[in-house]
Amino acid sequence: MQATSSPGITTGRWLTRANVLSALRLAVAPALAAAIASGRPLAAAALLLLAIATDFADGAVARRYGEASPFGGLLDHASDATLVVLGLAALASRGEAPHPLAPLVAAAFLQYAIDSRALAGRPLRASRLGRCNGIAYYVLVSVPVVRDALALSWPAPVWTHAFGVSLVATTLISMLDRLLALRRPAVR
* pTM as predicted: 0.85
Least confident of 51-55, 71-75, 80-84, 104-108: 71-75
Burial of 109 by CB count in 10 Å (0-12 exposed, 13-18 middle, 19+ buried)?
Answer: buried
Task: Reply yes or no on whether the pLDDT at 12 is more than 70.
Answer: no
In DSSP terms, which residues pair with 11 in a beta bridge?
3
Per-residue pLDDT, 103:
98
**140, 90 in Cβ contact below 8 A?**
no
Return d(Cα 18, Cα 60) in angstroms, integer: 8
Return d(Cα 167, Cα 149) in angstroms, integer: 24
Q: Work out the mean pLDDT of the chain and round it to a whole number.
A: 87
Per-residue pLDDT, 4:
41
Q: pLDDT (tens digit, 9 = 90+) per residue, 74-99?
A: 888 899 999 999 999 999 999 999 99
Percent of the chain with pLDDT over 90: 61
What band does 188 get if pLDDT is binned at 50, 70 and 90? low
What band does 136 get if pLDDT is binned at 50, 70 and 90? very high
Residues 6+ apart with CB under 8 A from 184: none
What the chain holds in terms of domains, given with CATH numbers, is 12-183 (1.20.120.1760)
Return d(Cα 158, Cα 164) in angstroms, integer: 10
**95, 162 in Cβ contact below 8 A?**
no
Return d(Cα 128, Cα 137) in angstroms, integer: 14
Mean of the pLDDT values across residues 154-163? 96
Return d(Cα 140, Cα 27) in angstroms, integer: 20
Least confident of 13-17, 29-33, 46-50, 57-61: 13-17
Task: Reply yes or no on whether the pLDDT at 8 is more than 70.
Answer: no
Per-residue pLDDT, 5:
43
Per-residue pLDDT, 1:
35
Closest CA to 25 of 69, 55, 1, 67: 55
Per-residue pLDDT, 119:
57
